[in-house]
């Protein structure tokens, strides 16, 4: 029997779709069976999920398929996405799958696929998996060669221990923070409060019921967490944290209830890790981020004595650069912090711990600390040109945007002393993105408009 048509969004980050439309148990079963034969090759596979109501159903389909092709399955239940790669390494498994559509609305679900190394599968692995999927002939095993199944309830303990080992716990405990944590009823609902309590915080949990639906569209953007900001101020919290459903991204709110945003998450976490590295004798500690992330991280690194390396956009590209430069911290401006001592992937738990350490080091409130940083405004647009058009526009853009440092590793980026603009093709859609940063929103919008006009593009709503 041929596998069902694959109509979901496919990339090395996973396979994502709307349940009952582009994603269903048949797709999950077919993909998991191909993963078990081509990536895990009959070895042990770690399975986790976020708190979506379709998680159990799709988890059962994935587990059955993996066992059917001879893989042993270790299920973790509802856990953050980074917990899965942590347990792959901890248990020396052949790979792992997380059932989660990240910040997408509740009707979505997805397979996030990890290799033995604990990183997302790469392009070669994905190509082999898709080839097997297209062939439609899973290698189902005889009854006596099917894989085993067991549940492991130690995963959150392992994850917590790794995060706590990498921060100055006593410094954070001494600060005695009150922290509001909005886990959007997702996978961070259990581990998040436990981590904050271990750091000596008084925790005010909000939306920490994994047995309930997301209370709102779960992407932690400013307009979606206004209610959370009001609660932060009302309860007198020193800081508010907002996780996405699989707890790999983190947004922050200051003590006044003001949304600080995701761009600050990495910058402040990097400050803690770079400062600690300097105290430990590292002369020029390295942080890595992508070309489209705010230059705040450069300013913080310069104050501390560290340096920043930029990579192409994408978590895998950031991780590659972190390994190449032996970075002490990395991540992207979407609230994704990568602490190599914990896991080579985004982890909001590591982000919370590092951010609290940085605030404790400063002796200031979060709003006071943010006020000491140079102020920038970021403007982002989606425009109606494809990858070929972006490549063809490089020459004309160079002619019109003078006096800049030019980077062509991922589209084309122009940088000046206090501003930059980046044009790059989307990795998942036939469109492109313009991201600009400048001291004011007006200047950032003007930079984006200049690029858009130069390439003859229109904004897509």
Phi-psi category of 176—alpha, beta or left, where left has phi over 0 and alpha has psi -120 to 50? left
User: Tokens 């932060």 sit at which residue?
Assistant: 232
Residue 101 is encoded by which pair of tokens? 């559509």
Backbone phi and psi for residue 202, each to the nearest 5 degrees, phi listed first: -85, 120
Enumerate the H helices of 285-405 as residue ranges.
296-304, 315-325, 348-362, 366-371, 387-392, 394-400
Pairing relationship of beta strands 405-407 and 377-383 according to DSSP bridges: unpaired
* Cβ count near 461 (within 10 Å): 4
- Residue 330 near residue 319, CB atoms below 8 Å: yes
CA distances, 207 to each of 62, 182, 212, 433 (Å): 28, 6, 9, 33
Sign for the pseudo-dihedral over CA of 94, 98, 99, 101: negative
Q: Nearest 5 degrees, angle CA 428-CA 339-CA 323? A: 75
Q: For the purposes of burial, counting CB atoms within 10 Å of the CB of 144, is it exposed (0-12), middle (13-18) or buried (19 or more)?
A: exposed
Hey, which residues does 437 pair with through a beta bridge? 378, 420
Q: For the purposes of burial, counting CB atoms within 10 Å of the CB of 178, is it exposed (0-12), middle (13-18) or buried (19 or more)?
A: middle
CA distances, 287 to each of 99, 306, 324, 398, 408 (Å): 30, 8, 12, 29, 21
426 is catalytic: no
Phi-psi category of 370—alpha, beta or left, where left has phi over 0 and alpha has psi -120 to 50? alpha
Among 102, 183, 311, 432, which one carries the catalytic annotation? 102
Residue 461 is encoded by which pair of tokens? 């709503």
Enumerate the H helices of 138-284 as residue ranges.
155-165, 169-175, 188-198, 226-234, 263-279
Say how far apart CA 402 and CA 256 lie, in whole Å. 41
User: DSSP characters for 220-233?
Assistant: --GGG-HHHHHHHH
Residue 165 is encoded by which pair of tokens? 């080992």
- Residues with catalytic function: 102
């Amino acid at each position: 029997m041929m596998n069902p048509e694959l109509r979901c969004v496919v990339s090395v980050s996973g396979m994502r779709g709307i349940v009952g439309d582009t994603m269903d148990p048949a797709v999950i079963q077919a993909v998991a069976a191909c993963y078990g034969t081509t990536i895990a090759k009959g070895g042990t596979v770690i399975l986790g999920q976020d708190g979506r109501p379709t998680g159990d159903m799709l988890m059962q389909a994935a587990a059955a398929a993996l066992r059917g092709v001879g893989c042993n399955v270790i299920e973790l239940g509802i856990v953050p996405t980074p917990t899965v790669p942590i347990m792959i390494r901890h248990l020396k498994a052949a790979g792992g799958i997380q059932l989660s559509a990240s910040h997408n609305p509740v009707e979505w679900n997805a397979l996030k696929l990890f290799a033995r190394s604990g990183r997302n599968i790469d392009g070669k692995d994905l190509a082999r998996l898709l080839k097997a999927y297209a062939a439609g002939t899973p290698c189902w095993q005889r009854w006596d060669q099917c894989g085993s199944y067991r549940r492991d309830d130690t995963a959150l303990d392992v994850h917590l221990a790794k995060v706590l080992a990498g921060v100055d716990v006593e410094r954070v405990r001494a600060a005695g923070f009150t922290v509001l944590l909005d886990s959007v009823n997702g996978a961070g609902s259990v581990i998040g409060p436990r981590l904050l309590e271990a750091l000596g915080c008084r925790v005010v949990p909000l939306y920490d019921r994994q047995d309930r639906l997301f209370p709102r569209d779960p992407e932690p953007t400013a307009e979606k967490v206004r209610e959370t900001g009001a609660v932060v101020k009302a309860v007198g919290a020193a800081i508010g944290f907002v996780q996405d459903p699989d707890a790999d991204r983190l947004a922050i709110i200051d003590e006044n209830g003001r949304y600080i945003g995701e761009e600050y998450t990495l910058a402040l976490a990097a400050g803690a890790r770079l400062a600690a590295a300097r105290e430990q004798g590292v002369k020029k500690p390295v942080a890595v981020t992508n070309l489209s992330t705010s230059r705040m991280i450069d300013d913080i690194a310069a104050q501390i004595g560290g340096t920043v390396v930029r990579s192409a956009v994408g978590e895998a590209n950031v991780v590659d650069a972190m390994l190449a430069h032996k970075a002490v911290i990395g991540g992207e401006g979407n609230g994704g912090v990568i602490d190599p001592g914990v896991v080579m992937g985004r982890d909001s738990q590591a982000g919370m711990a590092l951010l609290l350490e940085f605030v404790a080091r400063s002796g200031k409130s979060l709003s006071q600390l943010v006020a000491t940083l140079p102020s920038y405004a970021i403007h982002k647009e989606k425009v109606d040109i494809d990858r070929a058009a972006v490549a063809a526009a490089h020459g004309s853009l160079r002619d019109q945007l003078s006096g800049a440092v030019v980077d062509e590793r991922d589209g084309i980026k122009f940088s000046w002393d206090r501003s930059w603009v980046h044009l790059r093709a989307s990795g998942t859609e036939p469109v492109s993105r313009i991201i600009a940063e400048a001291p004011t929103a007006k200047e950032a919008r003007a930079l984006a408009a200049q690029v858009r006009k130069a390439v003859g593009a229109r904004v897509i709503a």
